[in-house]
Amino acid sequence: MKFWQKSLIAAALTAATMAQAAEVNVYSGRQEELIKPMLDQFSKDTGIKVNLITGKPDELISRMQSEGRNSPADLLISTDVGRLHRAEVQGLLQPVDSKVLTDAIPAHLRDPKQQWFGLTKRARPIMYVPGKVKPEQLSTIEDLADPKWKGKICVRSSDNIYNQSMVAALITQIGEEKTQAWANGFVKNFAQPPKGGDRDQIKAAAAGVCDIAIANTYYLGGMFDDAGDKAAAEAVKVFWPNQQDRGAHINISGAGVAKYAPNKAEAIKLLEYMVKPQSQSWYAVTNHEYPVVADVKWSQRLESFGQFKAEQVQLSTLGELNAKAIQVMDKAGWK
């Protein structure tokens, strides 16, 4: 065999080995069943192996910090912009230059420095019990501080990141002073001390503990899919607040490339894959979350909750105002 033939064979074998070795290490704050099917499809379509580690977002962020430069993490997937901002501030992410991502994702749903990107929208509206509350009685989130709602509201505790971001959004839009006044009145209207998750607030409303629950819509969508929770889900309706002004509060699930990613190129490919129309559609149908990409069809379940106007807040500010939001909630006695 001639030298040039041996060289060609060696190059082909090297390329094949590299192709087989292509992989991406994902630290996911999303439960495995809510992300793995998409990752499996990505591997099938690209040949890139995905090594998935799941856990609570804050724990994964702490893990990345302790691992430092030796971290195997390529991509951090997390729920809520507050956590993504935390990872960014701690120097755990790096900027990504991708026209695919910037073209697909609206500017207010991604970091201005391109260190994290929103992958789904998560809406947090009012859910009410028909027969106890008429939709025409509802209007804005601010109105829930009115004494007429005393003893009628169920919501999670103040240590919940979704509520912290909701309050941070209020600070951004109406100012800290008005947000504090709102929080003071809102807390006085709680039907019970905050406890449990979003599903628990919906169940409490269905059980007659309260008339109104604050919860993310994907929890309600999941309850419709769960035989044990379906009756509770059917007992409430969704009301979209602030439709005459700024729109309903939304947040995101999103991801960022780790600062010391050993497989940066593969991580970016996965990020770009997650904003493809078929990926966005899968999220909408499977997880009941709203696409960040325009013109992607919603699932029937999301359609049943109705169309709505959403806030256009630059979500990075919610992370920046997280500490201030917690202070407001603490002052109001929001446990």
Separation between Cα atoms, residue 281 and residue 101, nearest integer Å: 16
Q: What residues pair up with 257 in beta bridges, in sequence order?
A: 75
Q: Do 125 and 221 contact (CB within 8 A), yes or no?
A: no
Q: Which residues contact 114 (CB under 8 A, 6 or more apart)?
A: 95, 96, 97, 98, 101, 102
Separation between Cα atoms, residue 254 and residue 256, nearest integer Å: 7
Q: Going edge to edge, which strands form the sheet with 250-257?
A: 49-54, 23-28, 75-79, 250-257, 117-123, 290-291
283 labeled binding residue: no
Question: Residue type at 127?
Answer: M
Separation between Cα atoms, residue 314 and residue 299, nearest integer Å: 26
With 0-12 CB in 10 A as exposed, 13-18 as middle and 19+ as buried, what is 131?
Answer: exposed
DSSP 298: P
Q: Do 273 and 45 contact (CB within 8 A), yes or no?
A: yes
Q: How far apart are the first and last CA of the chain?
A: 78
Cα 41–chain centre separation:
21
Separation between Cα atoms, residue 335 and residue 333, nearest integer Å: 6
Please enumerate, by residue number, every residue annotated as part of a binding site for Fe cation: 218-219
Binding-site residues, in ranges, read 218-219
